[in-house]
Structure 1
Amino acid sequence: MNKNQLIAALSDRTGATLKDTQAFVDAFVGCVENTVATGDKVVLPGFGTFEARDVAAREGVDPSTGQRRLFPATRRASFKVGATFKEKVKGEQPVPSSGKQS
């Protein structure tokens, strides 16, 4: 599912217009990006946690040259899946049918 398909599905489920749904999705993504970029977490219980993580410097192989090199320390965005989401993916929880949900 791409962004446009997500917006269409959310619009169908909520009854909101495509324009309003797109504005909401864009605002949500922007809030998550800005919050994580400042070092805070975004926690959505059952769904998951968005956060920035520090990655230590490490030695590795540059895939384009095959040469060993030192990769510097950096920060990366990370998403940790929540328990309810994991259960649905594993098939331990029923997936609701499409249509409006509350």
Structure 2
Amino acid sequence: MIVRILGEGQFRLDLSELGRLNELDARLEEATNAGDEGAFRQTLHDLLDAVRTGSAPVPDDELHPSDLILPPADASIDDVRTILSDKEGEGLIPN
């Protein structure tokens, strides 16, 4: 699975990592909906870090369609709220 973190690049993620990402995605959605900036910031950091550590970077000279696109590390809670509203309850990572 190819995951893009906006502003960083693409990562080849092993499907075995999806369960952990879905847990973090649910926590991120909860923090976003609650307007809890501290929990939002920490969970976004944890989610992006899980992608970075649970995957291999795709070389810059390779182009692949992204299966998932995640916001950048400096995304605001309002940015993520907008993305989530477009996903109709799926979160950033569809189950």
TM-score by length of 1: 0.28
Give the greater-gyration-radius structure (CA).
1
Structure number with the bigger relative contact order (C-alpha 8 A, sep ≥ 6) is: 2
Higher helix share: 2
Higher strand share: 1
